Structure 1
Amino acid sequence: MKAFTIQSGDGIQAIELIDRPEPTVGSGEVKISMRAASLNYRDLGVASGGYLRNDTRPVVALSDGAGEVVEVGENVTRWKVGDRVSPNFVRDWIEGPATNAKLKTSLGGGIDGVLAETIVAPEQSLVAIPDELSFAEAATLPCAAVTAWHALFASGQLQPGQTVLLLGTGGVSIFALQLAKAAGAHVIVTSSSDDKLEQARSLGADEGINYRETPEWHKAVQQLTQGEGVDHVVEVGGPGTLERSLKSASVGGYIHLIGVLDSPGAKVGPLLSVFNLLTIRGIYVGSRLMHEQTVAAVVGNGIKPVIDRSFSFADSIAAYEYFASQKHVGKVVIEF
């Protein structure tokens, strides 16, 4: 079978299409014929090296995928041939709190991922794909949608009428927008592109701020909230945007720390978090239980994952390059 593997930390050019032996199925395992995968910002970081717990080399690329069960091993009870399934991002995190050992089993970095024609996975690490979702749509959920769910609901306990600030229009932010609106929240989105802000409004965003035109965007957030600030910030920028996110939050607000897209070396003072009693929490994807809850929320609310562009399996490197250009809104998908 064919698989795309990351051979070194030299970026996209370190990803190679190779031939590998067809994997064999052990007791409690399931073989899956992959049908779709999707990209996340983390995948660029893994390919570039130095990503915590994700420096295994070589490693099959990508964490997010969906496929069909084609063989089950002995003692498998959860699945049968023909079932449609999606692997959880962190293979061994089924429920409860994360541990260092569990986080080392993150697909496409710590262990082999899903950008292969066939994979084998433990039966307990898989989530069922409902009929309402295509393989491509299901493949968009394991990282971005689960991260948004973990932040706003599993951690933040988002309530109707609360206000959410989203940075940018990538996968996590767009899923957070869709989930927050379904929960009755008021959503503000930032972007450097008026076109992307218009797309966000078409998906339900209540307000948009172009941060290139308004560099001190936290002031605009305060104006839009009558000086109260927002209840939740889904913070995907990291240290480069964190100070303004802190200034955007309400007293008692939540800062959900997810990404390091901007200025990872910047320094941020802690005093606002003290004076405004903020809850600042790191969010790293989620458990299989959270994945299942996310799927239920997406289907139950009629949410359609936003797929910006789809590539073929053979064009996976082109998919990486397009994703790295940051032209997309929502998700970039690879279909096998």
Structure 2
Amino acid sequence: MADTTGSEIGDSMRAMRFDVESKTLALRTVPVPEAGHGEVLVRVHAAGVCLSDVHIAQGLITPRHILTGEVTLGHEVAGVVARIGEGVTGWTVGDRVVLQPLVWRPDGSRTLGVDYDGGWAEYVVTPASTLVTIPDDLCFEEAAIIPDAVSTPWSAIRTTGHVRAGESVGVWGVGGLGAHAIQLLRVVGAAPIIAVDPLLAARDRALALGADAALDPTATDFAAKLKNVTHGRMLDLALDFAGVPAAQEQALGSLAHGGRTVLVGLSGRPITIQNSVDFSVFKHTIRGHFGQDYADIPELIDLVSWGRLDLSGSISGVLPLEEATDGIRRLDEKIDNPIRLILRP
């Protein structure tokens, strides 16, 4: 069957494979996967490089459901439908789509590019239920990052954080997730929005994206500045996208009475409450957050289509598939302070 470029789909393809035991990435030539019952084959046009991919490469996140010891990474994927498996209706070869990264099964969820082969390849097979249509005027690069870089902070803000209009919110870490959180907090009416990041470039970016203030967490007068910006009330919600103990501790210490902290960044380290008395007296809460709900991605695509959300500045670079390892390094070391890097197979 022909793909949307008019060329025949061959028997093999290039894929960036991750060896779980050795924790190494290698570009391999592998068979093009077959679309089984209820599945589709998608020709990948863009795939995001996420901090979760860095965590996988470093061993913080371990694929638990793969059968071969290797997995193709990539959970932020956009492309076109190339083949349709048996039992699939409502989709046509050539449809432009993004992929929901989570698949729910009776025994739990499975994550694309972690528990089964993802989009750092020329083709990927996915259940038809994970497909979401993208409009013709939304480019593949921007569409690809919606399933995590945008939908994870959106879900953390609305579903886990329960942000209401007029609430004061702090955002620790203005990287791929935090940068979008600032834009999305403006959508829901949070005020003031305070970005917290040790990098001056990240703080400047936060202000450009709509933060009301941007603070250096290492400054000796951090607490005083936060209190001044919030007119003495401190934070109703602290969102931690940094995933480091110092940020978590500072976020907890910045809460108003009844304030809550949502931990999105992954550290793999214990969470410490330095002052358990204040934590109880002021009725603070901590909630963890991971991923998104199925409804989030279509909602966000609509927000982009209606001009409420601009992702044009979110693509910090586009790399060929063979430079995936370099993309991980650039993201991990914050070289040029990227929001999102994209692989183009």
State the match for 2:298 in structure 1: 292
Whole-Å separation in 2 of the counterparts to 1:78 and 1:332: 32
Deviation per CA, 1:214-269: give whole Å up to 9, x if none: 156344322321221112211122433222111112222221111135x8356334
State the match for 1:110 in structure 2: 115
Report SS of the residue matched to 1:318: helix
State the match for 1:62 in structure 2: 74
Measure how far apart 1:285 and its partner are: 0.6
State the match for 1:335 in structure 2: 344
Letter in structure 2 aligned against 1:187: I
TM-score, normalization by structure 1: 0.89
State the match for 2:89 in structure 1: 77
Name structure 2 gaps, 5 residues minimum: 1-12
Measure how far apart 1:134 and its partner are: 0.8
Name structure 1 gaps, 5 residues minimum: 94-98
Deviation per CA, 1:283-324: give whole Å up to 9, x if none: 111122222223333433432221122212232222122112
Whole-Å separation in 2 of the counterparts to 1:113 and 1:63: 6
2:190 is equivalent to residue 182 of structure 1: no
Whole-Å separation in 1 of the counterparts to 2:21 and 2:237: 35
User: Structure 2 vs 1, CA of residues 106 and 219 (structure 1 numbering), >3 Å: closer, same or farther?
Assistant: farther
State the match for 1:19 in structure 2: 29
User: Structure 2 vs 1, CA of residues 275 and 79 (structure 1 numbering), >3 Å: closer, same or farther?
Assistant: farther
State the match for 2:99 in structure 1: 87
Deviation per CA, 1:22-58: give whole Å up to 9, x if none: 1111121111000001121111111122425557431
Letter in structure 2 aligned against 1:333: I
2:320 is equivalent to residue 315 of structure 1: no
Whole-Å separation in 2 of the counterparts to 1:67 and 1:192: 36
Measure how far apart 1:120 and its partner are: 0.8
Report SS of the residue matched to 1:91: strand
TM-score, normalization by structure 2: 0.87
2:156 is equivalent to residue 126 of structure 1: no
State the match for 1:197 in structure 2: 203
- Counterpart among 137, 140, 147 of residue 145 in structure 2: 140
Letter in structure 2 aligned against 1:43: D
User: Structure 2 vs 1, CA of residues 78 and 220 (structure 1 numbering), >3 Å: closer, same or farther?
Assistant: farther
State the match for 1:267 in structure 2: 272
Whole-Å separation in 1 of the counterparts to 2:296 and 2:51: 20
State the match for 2:9 in structure 1: none
Measure how far apart 1:86 and its partner are: 1.3
2:168 is equivalent to residue 163 of structure 1: yes
Whole-Å separation in 2 of the counterparts to 1:189 and 1:81: 43
Letter in structure 1 aligned against 2:119: V
User: Structure 2 vs 1, CA of residues 323 and 9 (structure 1 numbering), >3 Å: closer, same or farther?
Assistant: farther
2:241 is equivalent to residue 232 of structure 1: no
User: Across the two proteins, how many residue pairs are aligned to each other?
Assistant: 325
Whole-Å separation in 1 of the counterparts to 2:297 and 2:220: 35
Measure how far apart 1:91 and its partner are: 2.2
Letter in structure 1 aligned against 2:50: N
Whole-Å separation in 2 of the counterparts to 1:54 and 1:291: 25
State the match for 2:214 in structure 1: 208
Letter in structure 2 aligned against 1:318: D
Letter in structure 2 aligned against 1:204: G
User: Structure 2 vs 1, CA of residues 89 and 179 (structure 1 numbering), >3 Å: closer, same or farther?
Assistant: same
- Sequence identity (%): 26
8 A Cα contact 1:40 1:144, kept in partner? yes
Whole-Å separation in 1 of the counterparts to 2:238 and 2:90: 37
Whole-Å separation in 2 of the counterparts to 1:215 and 1:60: 45
State the match for 2:53 in structure 1: 43
Measure how far apart 1:83 and its partner are: 0.9
Measure how far apart 1:162 and its partner are: 1.7
User: Structure 2 vs 1, CA of residues 314 and 82 (structure 1 numbering), >3 Å: closer, same or farther?
Assistant: same
Measure how far apart 1:132 and its partner are: 3.6
State the match for 1:96 in structure 2: none
Over alpha carbons, which structure has the higher Rg? Answer: 2
2:255 is equivalent to residue 249 of structure 1: yes
Whole-Å separation in 2 of the counterparts to 1:149 and 1:335: 25
8 A Cα contact 2:170 2:195, kept in partner? yes
User: Structure 2 vs 1, CA of residues 52 and 222 (structure 1 numbering), >3 Å: closer, same or farther?
Assistant: farther
Whole-Å separation in 2 of the counterparts to 1:215 and 1:264: 25
Report SS of the residue matched to 2:153: helix
